[in-house]
Structure 1
Amino acid sequence: MKRHEFLRELHKVSANRNYLEIGVNDGRSLTLSRVPSIAIDPAFKVVSEIRTDVHLVKATSDDFFARANPLAHLKGGRHPLRNLRRGRSPIGYWRRTTLDLSFIDGMHLFEYALRDFINVEKYSDWGSVIVLDDMLPRSIDEAARDRHTNAWTGDVYKMIEVLNRFRPDLVTVLVDTQPTGQLIVFGADPNNTVLKDKYDEIIAEYVVPDPQKVPEAVLERVKAVKPEELVGAGFWGALTKSRNLGVGRSRGWAPLRKALEPLATSR
């Protein structure tokens, strides 16, 4: 299954109520959205018809997330909660708009992908689905930081190891989409600051000159699952129901994590 076919199915099974995309390019992936969306790219050149309510942001993702209320387009960024407990006034109860589905496909350099993930996670939660593109380069040349091939992933594949190493609380699933695979992240925690706190340490260790030492397991897609297996899994209905009902992390994440274990990259 090609990446856009997989993304189309992911939009369906996740029943996402909003969508954020980093790296618009010509807009092919953005055309799949049918919900309020934000799309960020400093040099987009959209040539496809967009059939949804979208805020196209011509800026770097770093600059976008530095704004005071970056998700303002999605229901105003914040909205009041109705407190269902008797005798309590809803005034003063607020919840940040949470991203249901995010697609990170910006600069093909590890440090940019890491910052994008850190920023996206701030506006996500356990029921969010975060997709990172180009996680499975087919050769060392394709994974180079200094681009010298037509098809190019850069060294963003390092996100696989970094998330498994520094964020074992998350569940990551590698997906064998064509041409260069994707990593799906579940269990986001907007209160976790480990990656931000250790950013300089991580960059010092992982940003190295070419040629990159791409693990054989990545090149051979050892732990990547078939995209049909992921989108056909049985947990999606429970995930979307709990998410839409506002079920908290303490109740919602444990059963989802258990259902994901057979697919996880750490298995």
Structure 2
Amino acid sequence: MKRHEFLRGLHQASANRNYLEIGVNDGRSLTFSRVPSIAIDPAFKVVTEIRCDVHLAKATSDDFFARENPLQHLKGGRHPLRNIARNRSPFGYWREVTLDLSFIDGMHLFEYALRDFINVEKHSDWASVIVFDDMLPRNIDEAARDRHTDAWTGDVYKVIEILNRYRPDLVTVLVDTAPTGQLVVFGADPTSTVLQDNYDEIMAEFNVPDPQKVPETILERTVAVKPEALLEARFWKPLVHARDRGTKRARGLEPLREALKQLGDAA
């Protein structure tokens, strides 16, 4: 299954109520959205028809998330309450919107992808679906930080090890999509500052010159699940139900973790 086909399947499986995308390029991945969306790219050149209510932000993702109330287009932030109990806060304002589905496909260097995750996680929760693109380079050359090939993933594959080491509370699933794989992350915690607190330490270890030492498990995709298996998994309906009911992280995450573990064991 190709990456865009998988992304389209995620829109359906997650029944997402909103969508955020980092790295628009020509807009192909944005065509799948039918919900209020935000798309961020400093140099987008959309050439395809978009059929959703979208805010196209011509900015770097760092600059975008530095704005006051960056997700205002999705009806979030601190706005006067209307008579909708589920959005009520004790201060008489709308609660900030929570992202349901986010796609990170920006600059192909691990530190950019990591900062994108840090920023997206602040607006997500345990039931949010966060997707990284280009996580399974096919050879060492594709994984170079200094691009010298037509097809290029860069070294964003390092995000897998970083999240597994520093954020074992997250649930990460590598997916064997064509051509260069994806990573799906569940279990976001908007209160976590672990990655920010350890950013300098992470940079010191992982920012190394080419050639990169890509693990064999990445090159051979031995730990990646089939995209069809993930999209057809039975946990989606309970996940969506728990998300829409506002189920707390402590109660909702463990059943999801166990379901995804079984999926990985069956791969």
Output the TM-score relative to the length of structure 2: 0.94
Q: Which runs of 4+ in 1 moved over 6 A?
A: none
* Matched positions, count: 263
**Aligned residue type for 1:18:** N
Aligned to 1:145: 145
Q: What is the distance in 2 between the residues matched to 1:115 and 1:89?
A: 29
* Sequence identity (%): 77
Q: Is the 8 A contact 2:11 2:33 kept in 1?
A: yes
Aligned to 1:43: 43
Q: CA deviation at 1:92?
A: 2.8
Q: CA deviation at 1:264?
A: 5.2
Aligned to 2:249: 249
Q: What is the distance in 2 between the residues matched to 1:60 and 1:263?
A: 36
Q: Deviations over 1:55-108 (max 9, x none)?
A: 000000000000010000001435658558xxx996636522000000000000
Q: Is the 8 A contact 2:77 2:94 kept in 1?
A: no
Q: Is the 8 A contact 1:83 1:90 kept in 2?
A: no
* Residue 207 to residue 57, structure 1, CA distance change in 2 (3 Å): same
Aligned to 1:22: 22
Q: What is the distance in 2 between the residues matched to 1:156 and 1:202?
A: 13
Aligned to 1:64: 64
Q: CA deviation at 1:258?
A: 1.6
- Map of 1:173-184 to 2, 5 A cutoff? 173-184=173-184
Q: What is the distance in 2 between the residues matched to 1:196 and 1:144?
A: 25
Q: CA deviation at 1:49?
A: 0.2
Q: CA deviation at 1:249?
A: 1.1
Structure 2 unmatched runs, 5+: none
**Aligned residue type for 1:21:** E
Which is further off, 73-82 or 206-215?
73-82
* Residue 90 to residue 166, structure 1, CA distance change in 2 (3 Å): closer
Aligned to 1:160: 160
Structure 1 unmatched runs, 5+: none
Q: Is the 8 A contact 1:42 1:57 kept in 2?
A: yes
Q: What is the distance in 2 between the residues matched to 1:25 and 1:264?
A: 32
Q: Is the 8 A contact 1:2 1:177 kept in 2?
A: yes
- Bigger helix share: 2
- Map of 1:177-192 to 2, 5 A cutoff? 177-192=177-192
Q: Is the 8 A contact 2:145 2:154 kept in 1?
A: yes
**Aligned residue type for 1:62:** D
Q: Is the 8 A contact 2:176 2:225 kept in 1?
A: yes
Q: Is the 8 A contact 2:77 2:95 kept in 1?
A: no
Q: Secondary structure at the match of 1:174?
A: strand
1:7 maps onto 2:34 in alignment: no
**Aligned residue type for 1:13:** A
Which is further off, 94-103 or 70-79?
70-79
Aligned to 2:240: 240
Q: CA deviation at 1:110?
A: 0.7
Q: What is the distance in 1 between the residues matched to 2:264 and 2:118?
A: 20
* Residue 90 to residue 205, structure 1, CA distance change in 2 (3 Å): closer
Aligned to 1:132: 132
Which is further off, 233-242 or 248-257?
248-257
Q: Secondary structure at the match of 1:130?
A: strand
Q: Is the 8 A contact 1:172 1:264 kept in 2?
A: no
Q: Secondary structure at the match of 2:99?
A: coil
Aligned to 1:199: 199
Q: Deviations over 1:140-182 (max 9, x none)?
A: 0000000000000000000110000100000100000000000
Aligned to 1:216: 216
* Residue 264 to residue 124, structure 1, CA distance change in 2 (3 Å): farther
* Residue 264 to residue 197, structure 1, CA distance change in 2 (3 Å): farther
Q: What is the distance in 2 between the residues matched to 1:204 and 1:264?
A: 31
Output the TM-score relative to the length of structure 1: 0.94
Q: What is the distance in 2 between the residues matched to 1:139 and 1:168?
A: 27
